Amino acid sequence: MNKVIFVGNLTRDPELSTIPSGISVCKFSIAVNRKFAGADGNRETDFFNITAWRALGENCGKFLKKGNKVCVVGQIQTRTYEQDGVKKYAIDVIADEVEFLTPKQGGDFSAAGEMTPVADDSLPF
């Protein structure tokens, strides 16, 4: 099984394009903090290239921007290419799902975000 789940922030604005067959593709990268800090007390960060196709790619291109937090569920894909006579290897993530975790800007979240205090003795449990 080839399945990965990442939660991270976009490192740049997504690039939405269309391949010659008319299919939309969106490419972006995310920064994912490691769980544990190193010996120096700092947490290291890994960077992943993400590719989203078709409607998912169109939505990513439309609604995401640099700094947004996302959860990406997808598959790892490896590829090789040659640059200046040197064989290089790359790892990409092909997104199956992208959950937008940064709240929509300009939206009215006050109704959902405010909580009314309740006395403990009024709770049914």
Q: Where are the alpha helices (DSSP H) in the chain?
A: 54-63, 110-113
In CATH, what number is assigned to the domain containing residue 86? 2.40.50.140
Question: For the segment 3-31, what is each residue's pLDDT rounded down to a tens digit?
Answer: 999 999 999 999 999 999 999 999 999 99
Question: For the segment 42-91, what is each residue's pLDDT rounded down to a tens digit?
Answer: 999 999 999 999 999 999 999 999 999 999 999 999 999 999 999 999 99
Question: For the segment 100-113, what is each residue's pLDDT rounded down to a tens digit?
Answer: 999 876 544 444 44
* Ramachandran sector of residue 101 (left: φ over 0; alpha: ψ -120 to 50; beta: rest): alpha
Q: Residue 122: pLDDT band by 50, 70, 90 thresholds?
A: low
Number of domains in the chain: 1
> What's the pLDDT score for residue 124?
58
Three-class HEC string of 46-80: EEEEEEEEHHHHHHHHHHCCCCCEEEEEEEEEEEE
Q: Which amino acid is at 9?
A: N
> What's the pLDDT score for residue 116?
56
State which residues form the domain around 80. 4-122
Task: Give percent helix, percent strand, percent coil of the chain, each to the nearest 5.
Answer: 15, 55, 35
